[in-house]
Structures are given as structure tokens and as C-alpha cells.
């Protein structure tokens, strides 16, 4: 009895109220941190960068034992900060534009409130078709243009218009139409669907909203937001 009484309590961990060690946090939180990162970056290299930053920086600051609610909130806020750094440093986006993102993630940590079907069903006619062709069929802008019987420039504009509407569904403010960066947005989507790190550029407010719509659509496609085993192992070694 004396020996047992000296053992650290574990029942609270099992019942989901307390984390006692970094490994407890890692096992429960790595996947949601990664999937949140992927949902707001849209590609594996950038999602890995964001997740790695959260694990390396935030895990060192955790005070354990700690309640699940407190630790989860700290990780959500750290993920928000890391995603904000991604968009600020790589696309010139002001941190002030992340108020909607921050509110959504902190209010509903580790989950998305929309589905791929819900996002696409909100689109009319050609806008839905161009989105399906680009993301689900992985067709190039030229191929989409040929199927729709329009120019490549018009196909790029249709995609921008479609993603702008999806952005409104995500809770971002509807903005005046601006097609100036339709080509750059098309290149961004090209890199998402071909699983490459997108090129960086200074994104306008309209383009930024459309890019976030693109990252969400790509993340909602089954299997896209699952981390690679070698990445998980590399982070686990740093936490251990």
C-alpha cells in the first residue's frame, strides 16, 4: 500500500481531465494541430512547418500536469499564431485579418464546422464545375478552359469567383470583385493539387480570401490532411 501510494496518479489522464507528460499531449494533440495547420495552408510542406513550430516552441512552455482544457487552448492559440506567421511572412498578409480565423478556431478547437459538400453545394453552375475540375479531377487551367469553351484567362477568373464565394461561406467578408491576381491564384491552386509548396507573392485581400477557400477545399478531400509517418516519428523523437 505504501508503494502504491507513492505512484503518480494516472486516472485523471485516462478520464481525459489532465495531461501529466509531454507524450500525453503529443499523442492526443499532434493530429488536430497538423490538420488545423493543413486546413489553413493547404499543402503538406507548409503544414509540416507550422506543426513543427508549434511542437518545438509551445511544448517547451507547457506546464504539466495541466488540465486538458488549458493545454488544448494553449495549443490552439499557438497554432493560430503559427498560421498567422505563415501568411504574414510568406504572403504579406496583415495579422489583423486573422480575427475571423482566430475566433473560429478558438471557439471550436480541433474541428471544422463545414464539409466539402457544403462548400461546393453553395456554388452555382459553372463555378461549381470549375472548382470540381480543378480540385477533385485535378485538371489544369488549360484543360478546364477547353472543357468549358472559354479562354485560360476566363477559366482562371471563374475559379477566383468560385473561391471568393466559398470564402464567404467560411465567414470571410465579401469583397468587391478584383480579378487582377487570378493567374497567381491559379498557380497557387496548381501547387496545391500537385502537392507542392506554393510560390510566395504579395496577396491582395480578395486573393487572400480565395486562397483560404482553396486551402479548405483541398484539406476536405479525403486523405489529404493526414501526416506522413516519417514526419510524426521525427517530431515524436524531439518530444520524448
| Domain ranges (residues) in the chain | 2-111+225-239, 116-220
82, three cell numbers:
503559427
Q: What is the pLDDT of residue 204?
A: 94
Rounded-to-5 percentages of helix, strand, coil across the chain: 70, 0, 30
Full DSSP string of 150-169: S-HHHHHHHHHHHHHHHHHH
Give yes or no for a contact between 127 and 164, defined as CB atoms under 8 angstroms apart: no
Q: What is the pLDDT of residue 119?
A: 87
- DSSP letter at 62 equals -
Q: What is the pLDDT of residue 103?
A: 58
Closest by CA to 225, choosing from 27, 32, 29, 25, is: 32
- pLDDT per residue of the chain (240 residues) written in tens, 0 to 9: 333 334 344 434 444 589 988 899 999 999 999 999 999 999 999 999 999 999 999 988 888 999 998 998 899 889 988 998 999 999 999 877 766 566 566 556 666 667 888 889 989 999 999 999 999 999 999 999 999 999 999 999 999 999 999 999 888 877 788 999 999 999 999 999 999 999 999 999 999 999 999 999 999 999 999 999 999 999 998 887
Q: What is the pLDDT of residue 10?
A: 42
Is the torsion defined by CA of 128, 182, 113, 75 positive or negative? positive
Half-sphere exposure of 52 (CA within 13 A, CB side): 15
Is the torsion defined by CA of 171, 186, 82, 221 positive or negative? positive
Amino acid at each position: 500500500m505504501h508503494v502504491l501510494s507513492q505512484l503518480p496518479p494516472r486516472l485523471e489522464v485516462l478520464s481525459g481531465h489532465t495531461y501529466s507528460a509531454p507524450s500525453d499531449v503529443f499523442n492526443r494533440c499532434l493530429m488536430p494541430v497538423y490538420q488545423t495547420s493543413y486546413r489553413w495552408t493547404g499543402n503538406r510542406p507548409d503544414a509540416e512547418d507550422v506543426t513543427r513550430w508549434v511542437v518545438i516552441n509551445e511544448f517547451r512552455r507547457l506546464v504539466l500536469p495541466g488540465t486538458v482544457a488549458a493545454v488544448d487552448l494553449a495549443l490552439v492559440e499557438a497554432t493560430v499564431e503559427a498560421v498567422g506567421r505563415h501568411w504574414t511572412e510568406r504572403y504579406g498578409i496583415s495579422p489583423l485579418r486573422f480575427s475571423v480565423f482566430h475566433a473560429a478556431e478558438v471557439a471550436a478547437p480541433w474541428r471544422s464546422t463545414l464539409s466539402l459538400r457544403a462548400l461546393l453545394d453553395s456554388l452555382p453552375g459553372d463555378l461549381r464545375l470549375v472548382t470540381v475540375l480543378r480540385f477533385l479531377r485535378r485538371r489544369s487551367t488549360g484543360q478546364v478552359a477547353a472543357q468549358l469553351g472559354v479562354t485560360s484567362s476566363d477559366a482562371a477568373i471563374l475559379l477566383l469567383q468560385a473561391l471568393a464565394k466559398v470564402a464567404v461561406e467560411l465567414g470571410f467578408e465579401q469583397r468587391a470583385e478584383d480579378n487582377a491576381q487570378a493567374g497567381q491564384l491559379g498557380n497557387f491552386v496548381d501547387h496545391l493539387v500537385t502537392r507542392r509548396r506554393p510560390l510566395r507573392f504579395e496577396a491582395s485581400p480578395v486573393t487572400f480570401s480565395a486562397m483560404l477557400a482553396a486551402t479548405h477545399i483541398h484539406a476536405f478531400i479525403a486523405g489529404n490532411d493526414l501526416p506522413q509517418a516519417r514526419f510524426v516519428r521525427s517530431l515524436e523523437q524531439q518530444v520524448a
